[in-house]
Amino acid sequence: SDIPTIPVLYKTKWLTVVPTPSRTPNAVFNSKIAIIRHDITRLQVDSIVNAANDSLLGGGGVDGAIHRAAGPRLFDECETLNGCDTGSAKITNGYKLPAKKVIHAVGPVYFREKGRGRHEILLRGCYRKSLELAEQNGLKSIAFSALSTGVYGYPSGEAADAAISEVRNFFEEGKGKDFERVVFCNFMEKDEKAYQATMSKYFPDA
Ligand code: AR6
């Protein structure tokens, strides 16, 4: 496996919170958002978001890592779901993972959907549906993998912009009031940098 084994960290230690802003409306959201670089399978949160494909039957990348860490009962549950549309998500148990639930989101294949002008709508749909599922299931923390930015070829910067702004929109609509933490969990330094560069645009520090 190319995935290093990293021990579960204490919640207070793995969080990197962006600096507290001075404007009140942002301060409300600011403490709820975090960017980290870590193996998502090691996070002790209510839900992690998998970058799945429309079969929901596993694959490589973060999907493979999640299935390996969760054990075979995750595959058994996924088999009952009849796949999932691109731009949407479905929820399962977490089994052997430290996370309680897995939200399996199907991001767009960048170059295929860009040609149809749908790449961003579909990626935003994944974030939106995942947030809705977490809220509907009473989950208070959600950690997203960087959906579509691996083999599906979505550029990190563009993906970070869609992801972070969709979370901000969700909060602006008065949703997710019970959320304690929304985490963007990156694996590669380039993705972490893209998220850090984009965060202040939607969760400003000013
Ligand atoms: N923890 C967190 N992030 C990870 C991990 C990990 N353990 N491993 C990889 N990443 P990808 P996609 C990051 O390719 O582009 C699968 O075969 C990785 O660095 O996993 O949405 C599915 O079954 C990247 O930033 O997903 C689908 O067929 C991000 O996870 C297809 O790949 C997503 O990369 C989905 O492609």
Nearest CA to ligand 1 atom 33: 150
C-alpha of residue 206 to centroid of ligand 1, in Å: 33
Query: Is residue 14 within 6 Å of ligand 1 at its C-beta?
Result: no
Query: Is residue 3 within 6 Å of ligand 1 at its C-beta?
Result: yes
- The first and second tokens of residue 204, run together, are 């400003």
Mean confidence (pLDDT) of the chain: 85
C-alpha of residue 160 to centroid of ligand 1, in Å: 14
C-alpha of residue 27 to centroid of ligand 1, in Å: 31
Say if strands 47-52 and 181-186 run parallel, antiparallel, or are unpaired.
unpaired
Please say if the pLDDT value at position 5 is more than 90.
no
Please say if the pLDDT value at position 20 is more than 70.
no
Q: H helices of 39-188, where?
A: 61-70, 72-79, 110-115, 119-136, 156-172
Q: Kindly indicate the confidence band of residue 100, based on its pLDDT and cuts at 50, 70 and 90.
A: very high
ipTM: 0.99
31-52 residue pLDDT tens:
688 888 888 998 888 999 999 9
Look at residue 173 in the predicted model and tell me its pLDDT: 82
C-alpha of residue 61 to centroid of ligand 1, in Å: 4
Q: Which of 176, 148, 179, 178 is nearest to 161 (CA)?
A: 148
Say if strands 101-106 and 181-186 run parallel, antiparallel, or are unpaired.
unpaired
3-state secondary structure of 148: coil
Q: Are 158 and 147 in contact (CB under 8 A)?
A: no
120-134 residue pLDDT tens:
999 999 999 999 999
Q: Kindly indicate the confidence band of residue 115, based on its pLDDT and cuts at 50, 70 and 90.
A: confident
Residue whose entry in the numeric block shows the structure tokens 């912009």: 161
Average pLDDT over residues 101-111: 98
Query: Is residue 60 within 6 Å of ligand 1 at its C-beta?
Result: yes
50-71 residue pLDDT tens:
999 999 999 999 999 999 999 9
Query: Is residue 130 within 6 Å of ligand 1 at its C-beta?
Result: no
Query: Is residue 40 within 6 Å of ligand 1 at its C-beta?
Result: yes
Q: How crowded is residue 151: how many other Cβ atoms within 10 Å of its Cβ? A: 13
190-199 residue pLDDT tens:
898 898 888 8
C-alpha of residue 63 to centroid of ligand 1, in Å: 6
How much of the chain is helix, strand and coil, in % rounded to 5? 40, 15, 40
Q: Which of 25-29, 157-161, 179-183, 190-194 has the highest mean pLDDT?
A: 157-161
Give the number of the atom of ligand 1 that is nearest the alpha carbon of residue 185. 2
Give the number of the atom of ligand 1 that is nearest the alpha carbon of residue 152. 15
